[in-house]
Amino acid sequence: MSRQALRDRCRALPPACFAPVMATGIVSRALAEAGARTASALLLALACATYALLLAASAVKALCHRAHLRAELTDPARLFGHYTFVAASGVLATRLGHGPARGVSYALLALAAAVWTALTTALTRLPRATARAAARQADGTWFLATVGLQSLVLCLTALPPRRVFLAPALALWWCGVLLYALTLAVVTRRLIRHPPEADRCTPAYWITMGAAAISTLAGTQLLDQDRFRPHAVHGPLTLAVVTLWSWASTLIPPLLATGCWRHLHHRVPLSYEPALWCVVFPVGMYATATLRVTATVTHPAPTAVALPLAWSAATVWLTVQGLALASHRPARL
């Protein structure tokens, strides 16, 4: 392949190209929590390799196609997809933080924080007319901003020194919860006033549940910091975590029903589409969050739910990966 052809392929890299990485990374963690170490390690290795490849391609895109990247960052329909980079970096940093690659985790955390800040700055600088027009088309991808922010909290609560990181992590977590509530209000208003057609009701709406699940998981990691966390925070934090987990659980039936309505009633073909990675990530995140809520809040032995949830997430991952390979199309939103 010529250099120009390689540059053109990097230019065509979609904003949400890191969605498979964050999905694979969290399913790897769910399997690790359930004790399936070999399967977890294999998925982690795949996630790391894919991340490295996409990072190199994204660097080429940023250096050689600056105008194209600038256009993406001024288009709300494409800007939110870039938050998948933040989420993928955060998920991998958390997974790598307990081994010899801890130094890589700090680098990923710094990179993710810088990119989240840059993306949010670009979002706040959108013209008011553009923002209002975008709100009328708000969909599940808008929750990726919350996912990215809470992935930073996962890193801050998993990496030492925890005493130093706890205060900013707690502040960011509450900001993430408020951002989720605001995004939910905007998306709900859009769905009521401008309901999408069946072909536009993509699996990306599953990120609504995924954002609640990652907020739950980050909250449980804050609850684990008993030695450093003020005691007065414990009650409100526990209540918020349980509420978020309950909300994530409540969202699953209507999301499944929407899929049936789309594919069975409206006959939209059930084939591979890149947005299916937006189902894998929430399912894996919900499995992991449920295990942590069970262990942190209710305190029974989590083994009864660990394996079924983790392997359900792995089954969804295998299904989407198989469809992606069969389609010979790049995984993108």
pLDDT tens-digit readout, 70-89? 999 999 999 999 999 999 99
- Residue 330, pLDDT > 60, answer no
Average the pLDDT over each of 2-6, 40-44, 209-213 and give the range with the smallest value.
2-6
Tokens for 311?
């392997």
Asked if the bond preceding 274 is cis, omega within 30° of 0, the reply is no
CA–CA separation, 80 vs 278, rounded Å? 13
CA–CA separation, 214 vs 210, rounded Å? 6
- Residue 300, pLDDT > 70, answer no
Question: What share of the chain has pLDDT > 90, as a percent?
Answer: 70
Residue pair 134/76 in contact (Cβ under 8 Å)? The answer is yes
Nearest to 185 by CA among 145, 142, 217: 142
Nearest to 261 by CA among 210, 184, 200, 318: 200
- The pLDDT, as a whole number, for residue 304 is 67
Residue 7 CA to its chain's centroid (Å):
27
Report the chain's C-alpha Rg in angstroms.
19
- How many of the other CB atoms lie within 10 Å of CB of 133? 12
Task: Work out whether the CA dihedral 291, 36, 47, 103 comes out positive or negative.
Answer: positive
Average the pLDDT over each of 31-45, 140-154, 223-237 and give the range with the smallest value.
223-237
Q: pLDDT for 218-265, tens place per residue?
A: 999 999 887 777 778 889 999 999 999 999 999 999 999 999 998 888
CA–CA separation, 212 vs 281, rounded Å? 12
- The pLDDT, as a whole number, for residue 319 is 95
Q: What is the dihedral of CA 276, 76, 123, 19, to 10 degrees?
A: 20
Q: For the chain, which residues make up each domain, given as ranges?
A: 3-327
CA–CA separation, 260 vs 151, rounded Å? 30
CA–CA separation, 207 vs 280, rounded Å? 10
Residue pair 109/164 in contact (Cβ under 8 Å)? The answer is no
CA–CA separation, 275 vs 333, rounded Å? 5
Average the pLDDT over each of 45-49, 300-304, 312-316 and give the range with the smallest value.
300-304
Nearest to 214 by CA among 59, 87, 118: 87
- Residue 158, pLDDT > 80, answer yes
- At 303, the pLDDT band (50, 70, 90 cuts) reads low
Q: Given this structure, which CATH class describes domain 3-327?
A: mainly alpha
State how far the alpha carbon of 284 is from the alpha carbons of 78, 126, 142, 215, 249, in Å. Answer: 24, 33, 19, 13, 13
Q: Give the residue-averaged pLDDT of 27-51.
A: 94
- At 302, the pLDDT band (50, 70, 90 cuts) reads low
Q: pLDDT for 100-116, tens place per residue?
A: 888 999 999 999 999 99
How many CA within 13 A on the CB side of residue 48?
A: 16
Average the pLDDT over each of 34-48, 217-231, 241-255, 307-321 and give the range with the smallest value.
217-231
CA–CA separation, 145 vs 283, rounded Å? 18
Residues 6 or more apart in contact with residue 262 via CB below 8 angstroms: 198, 199, 201, 268
